């Protein structure tokens, strides 16, 4: 089954958010863009819907988290190299984002993180493909 992932994030200023993520190299699907929302293309089947807060609020009865004060999620994306990790973090900072933690180098895995203009946390990581084990099924009992 082909799966697409849509992450929905509330934003205060849609234009400002689009400008920020455009500087990071992301593109947007104009078919799903209006004054309330836009569809940011992250990968072949991965999209981030940036939704202005009043519109986002129509999707939930819960209070919207102020991501500058609380963490609702950390969105982690992979990169093809360590250099690509550093390049993305540099682009984020130059576009107005802030570093959330220093880079972590575990030899086989390298990662770094930033906070976007609305306080959402993003991680970018590279994992050496030669160190990744083939997918192993997990027994249901082992996750209880």
Half-sphere exposure of 113 (CA within 13 A, CB side): 14
Task: Count up the domains in the chain and report the number.
Answer: 1
Q: Return the bridge partners of 39, or none.
A: 29, 49
In a domain, 141, yes or no: no
In a domain, 105, yes or no: yes
DSSP 3-state of 97? coil
In a domain, 66, yes or no: yes
Which residues form the domain of 116? 5-132
In this prediction the pTM is: 0.85
Whole-angstrom Cα Rg for the chain: 17
Residue 141 CB contacts under 8 Å (≥ 6 apart), including other chains: none
What's the pLDDT at 132? Answer: 76
What's the pLDDT at 16? Answer: 97
CATH of the domain at 9: 3.10.180.10
What's the pLDDT at 131? Answer: 85
The per-residue pLDDT string of the chain (144 residues; one tens digit each, 9 = 90 and over) reads 568 999 999 999 999 999 999 999 999 999 999 999 999 999 999 999 999 999 999 999 999 999 999 998 999 999 999 999 999 999 999 999 999 989 999 999 999 999 999 999 999 999 998 887 776 666 655 555
């Amino acid at each position: 089954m082909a799966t697409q992932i849509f992450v929905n994030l509330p934003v205060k200023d849609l234009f400002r958010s689009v400008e920020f993520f455009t500087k990071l190299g992301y593109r947007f699907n104009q078919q799903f863009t209006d004054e309330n929302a836009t569809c940011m293309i992250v990968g072949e089947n991965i999209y981030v819907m940036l939704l202005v807060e009043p519109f986002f609020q129509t999707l939930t009865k819960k209070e919207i988290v102020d991501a500058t004060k609380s963490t609702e999620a950390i969105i982690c994306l992979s990169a093809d190299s360590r250099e690509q990790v550093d390049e993305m973090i540099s682009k984020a900072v130059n576009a107005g984002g802030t570093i959330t933690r220093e880079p972590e180098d575990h030899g086989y895995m390298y990662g770094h993180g930033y906070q976007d203009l609305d306080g959402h946390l993003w991680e970018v990581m590279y994992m050496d493909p030669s160190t990744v084990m083939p997918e192993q099924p997990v027994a249901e009992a082992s996750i209880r």
